[in-house]
């Protein structure tokens, strides 16, 4: 059963770029009397505190945030209120990014390149408790779920591999034996269907399995 929309949808915007927040405020206020931006935050911790204070109808959340990641902020919010409505708005389009956000509790997932009309449609859908995934995003999510999952240790190795570290350096950083790292790398090449370390790093970054430090 579809949840009825509230008369006024109160919005919290969490993004570390002031110009993005300003743009969203302008977009969401202009000609949309049912939408009201009640708060803004520039990092994950601020976003969590603002959500606790304001209890917005919808929180629009970026993923790459200082202090506390968007995924962690989503998870903490949903732990406190399983019915909290969260819409991700990000530049990350990898299947792993989408999966982490949805698994944490986000109802919707949009890229920042989206058109204004789609953003507003998504906000209203999420405010009503409905999931909102554009067809291309949903397809990427399904495609990613069909691929073999990486273990937490493989993800640790992959993150360092993508940063250009060699096996000895990865072993030292993770407290592993070098032959153990070699086994993990071979498993990664198989699971990612990559012919070498460089291709594995490219695939990992494209899918959002890991991200390079900002």
Domain-terminating residue out of 90, 117, 144 = 144
Q: Is residue 125 part of a domain?
A: yes
Q: Is residue 197 part of a domain?
A: yes
Q: How far apart are CA 61 and CA 14, in angstroms?
A: 5
Q: Is residue 214 part of a domain?
A: no
Domain-terminating residue out of 118, 144, 170 = 144
CATH code, domain with 117? 3.40.50.2300
Do 166 and 61 share a domain, yes or no? no
Predicted TM-score (pTM) above 0.75: yes
Tokens for 102, please give them: 């949805």
Do 128 and 174 share a domain, yes or no? no
Do 38 and 88 share a domain, yes or no? yes
Count how many domains the chain has: 2
- Residue 82: count of CB within 10 angstroms of its CB: 8
Beta bridge partners of 14: 41, 61
Residue with tokens 């591999």: 161
Do 123 and 198 share a domain, yes or no? no
Q: How far apart are CA 33 and CA 23, in angstroms?
A: 17
Do 177 and 202 share a domain, yes or no? yes
Identify the pLDDT of residue 206: 86
Residue with tokens 């990898």: 94
Do 130 and 174 share a domain, yes or no? no
Q: Is residue 47 part of a domain?
A: yes
Do 82 and 133 share a domain, yes or no? yes
3-state SS track over 167-191? HHHHHHHHCCCHHHHHHHHHHHHHH
Do 131 and 157 share a domain, yes or no? no
CATH code, domain with 198? 1.10.10.10
Q: Is residue 212 part of a domain?
A: no
Do 156 and 110 share a domain, yes or no? no
Q: Decide if 34 contacts 19 (C-beta within 8 A).
A: no
Range of the domain at 197: 152-207
Identify the pLDDT of residue 169: 94
Q: How far apart are CA 100 and CA 91, in angstroms?
A: 14
Beta bridge partners of 31: none
Q: What is the pLDDT along the chain (214 residues), one digit of tens a residue?
A: 445 666 789 999 999 999 999 999 998 987 788 999 999 999 999 999 999 999 999 999 999 999 999 999 999 999 999 999 999 999 988 889 999 999 999 999 999 999 999 999 999 999 999 999 998 888 888 777 767 788 999 999 999 999 999 999 999 999 999 999 999 999 999 988 889 999 999 988 888 888 887 6
Q: Is residue 193 part of a domain?
A: yes
Which of 8, 81, 130, 91 lies closest to 73, judged by CA? 81
Q: How far apart are CA 132 and CA 126, in angstroms?
A: 7
Domain-terminating residue out of 102, 127, 144 = 144
| CB-based contacts of 55, cutoff 8 Å, min separation 6 | none
Q: Is residue 188 part of a domain?
A: yes
Cα dihedral 95/99/102/107 (nearest 10):
20
Q: Is residue 2 part of a domain?
A: no
């Amino acid at each position: 059963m579809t949840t009825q929309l509230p008369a006024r949808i109160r919005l919290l915007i969490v993004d570390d770029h002031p110009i993005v927040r300003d743009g969203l405020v302008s977009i969401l206020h202009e000609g949309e009397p049912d939408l009201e931006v009640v708060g803004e935050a520039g990092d994950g911790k601020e976003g969590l505190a603002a959500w606790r204070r304001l209890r917005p109808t919808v929180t629009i959340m970026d993923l790459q945030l200082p202090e506390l990641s968007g995924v962690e902020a989503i998870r903490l919010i949903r732990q406190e209120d399983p019915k909290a409505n969260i819409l991700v708005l990000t530049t990350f389009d990898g299947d792993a990014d989408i999966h982490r956000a949805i698994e944490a509790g986000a109802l919707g997932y949009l890229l920042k390149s989206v058109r204004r009309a789609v953003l507003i449609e998504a906000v209203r859908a999420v405010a009503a408790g409905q999931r909102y995934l554009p067809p291309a995003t949903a397809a990427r999510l399904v495609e990613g779920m069909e691929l073999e999952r990486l273990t937490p240790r493989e993800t640790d190795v992959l993150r360092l591999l993508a940063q250009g570290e060699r096996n000895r350096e990865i072993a030292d950083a993770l407290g592993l034996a070098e032959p153990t790292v070699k086994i993990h790398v071979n498993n990664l090449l198989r699971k990612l269907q990559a012919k070498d370390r460089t291709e594995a790093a490219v695939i990992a970054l494209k899918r959002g399995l890991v991200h390079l430090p900002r």
